Chain A
Amino acid sequence: MSTDELSIQFPTFQRELKSFLLRLTASVQDAEDIVQETYLKAQSKIDSFRGDSSLKTWVFSIASNLAKDLLRSQKRWPETVTDICREETLQNKGFLQEAMHIRQTSPQGNFEIREHIAFCFTCIAKSLPLEGHLVILLKEVYDFKVKEIAQILQLSEAMVKYHLHVSRKKMMDIFDQRCSLINKQGICHQCTELNGIFNPKQEAQEELVKIEMAREADRRNRDDLFDLRMNILQELDPFESGAAKLQLHHLEHNRQVMEKYLQNID
């Protein structure tokens, strides 16, 4: 493959790569930086690409290694990230004012509950061990096969299966304890709470029934409901959706809160 061919093919999966890196790092700047670094590295190493995998798999491997280098030096977030950040938000008048301004002025400032469900997953998945986080995103959101993930992460297929199994179980357990959309004993209502703030005239229940995961909550098992949650992430591009600007503002807020929180618990 030549660098010219790379420059033609790279843009065909660049958006997916950027969204993967955003969901991994929770930082727009880090995601954009790693996309650029990935391209430069792929360009400089193009001679070593032998076609043993697809170009997309090879490029995701470079990006995953760069992301791992960055994230290994950072602490993982706690499972309670959304509770901690909610408390901080309530004390931060500037945050809600800025968010309301985005809501009123930006074409990407809508608040949609399903967008918040995806945002919530992005935050909570950062409590998984790094390998598990990578595997669950690559498999469940970006639809790579186990064999391809093994190539991307330089793991055996058995280890990919192990990480996938453990990460799915852990995320299901966390959502069981906090997401009232799929478990009636759940305690988290942040998505509907925020809907009340940003869409005061809209009935949250009416919005919820539009989401298959919420509609099917009583009929499906945990695995099915988790898959439906993953469908929501698959369908959304966090940079391009109608709620992107509002959600990215919220994500950056949470990232900053977490950075401070993790420094303080040293």
Chain B
Amino acid sequence: MEQKAKTIGKTFSRETSVHASIAADPAIVWALLTHAADYPRWNSTVTSIQGEIKAGGAIELKSTLDAKRTFKLKVKEFVPEKRLVWGDAMGSRVYSLEKSGGGTQFSMSERIGGPLFPLFAGMIPSFDESFDKFTADLKKEAETIQKSKK
């Protein structure tokens, strides 16, 4: 079941999360999430990712959320077909996959925060729309591959 992204804001942190059922094997979803160079082809929220998404890897991500900024991120957790976490000192993006029948229960969340968070919280745009687009793109592409006649 698809749900719209939700954000819970607190004084020192903010967390956005989204969940979706994807009618595709977790291996396909995982492949889409971990092939860095392929992101711009299917994901309308990512302009480019340089580097390799692998255990201990470092990536430089450009997104439509802030076109002028390059996010320098480290891959913090890498459990194939189950869990991927990347982030920086400010926060972490967590992708979780769970096999469910012939498909995948997908969830994505990002928590940003820290002692200085209240000072710049107002400058950080909402992630909700971007999360919804990311999830819709992932679902569409993974299900297209799953259904491919080839």
Contacts and interface: CB of A to CB of B under 8 A. Distances in A.
What band does the interface of chain A fall in when counting residues whose beta carbon is under 8 Å from B? 10 to 19
B150 A162 contact: no
A162 B32 contact: yes
A161 B145 contact: yes
B38 interface: yes
B143 to A, nearest CB: 11
A164 interface: yes
B41 A162 contact: no
Contact of A139 (B24, B32, B150): B150
Contacts, number: 35
B31 A146 contact: no
Interface residues of B, number: 15
Contact of A165 (B25, B26, B27, B145): B145
* Of A158, A166, A169, most B-chain CB atoms within 10 Å: A158
B38 A166 contact: yes
B38 A158 contact: no
Name B's interface SS: helix
A146 B41 contact: no
A161 B41 contact: no
Nearest to A139: B150
A159 interface: yes
A80 interface: no
A161 B28 contact: yes
A161 B150 contact: yes
Contacts of B150: 139, 146, 161, 164-165, 168
Given A165-B144, A165-B145, A165-B148, A158 B41 contact: no
B146 interface: yes
A161 B146 contact: yes
A74 interface: no
A208 B27 CA distance: 42
Contacts of A162: 27-28, 31-32, 145
A53 interface: no
Interface in B105-150: 144-146, 148, 150
A177 to B, nearest CB: 15
Nearest to B27: A158
A29 interface: no
Interface string A157-192: 011011011101100000000000000000000000
Interface string B39-55: 00100000000000000
A166 B41 contact: yes
Contacts of A156: 25, 27
Interface string B11-38: 0000000000000111110011001001
A147 to B, nearest CB: 12
Nearest to B145: A165
User: Which 3 residue pairs across A and B have the least CB separation, nearest first?
Assistant: A158-B27, A158-B25, A162-B31
18 contacts: A158-B25, A158-B26, A158-B28, A158-B146, A159-B27, A159-B28, A161-B28, A161-B145, A161-B146, A161-B148, A162-B28, A162-B31, A164-B150, A165-B145, A165-B148, A165-B150, A166-B38, A168-B150
Interface of B: 24-28, 31-32, 35, 38, 41, 144-146, 148, 150
Given A158-B146, A161-B146, A166-B41, 16 more contacts: A146-B150, A156-B25, A158-B25, A158-B26, A158-B27, A158-B28, A161-B150, A162-B28, A162-B31, A162-B32, A165-B144, A165-B150, A166-B35, A166-B38, A168-B150, A169-B41
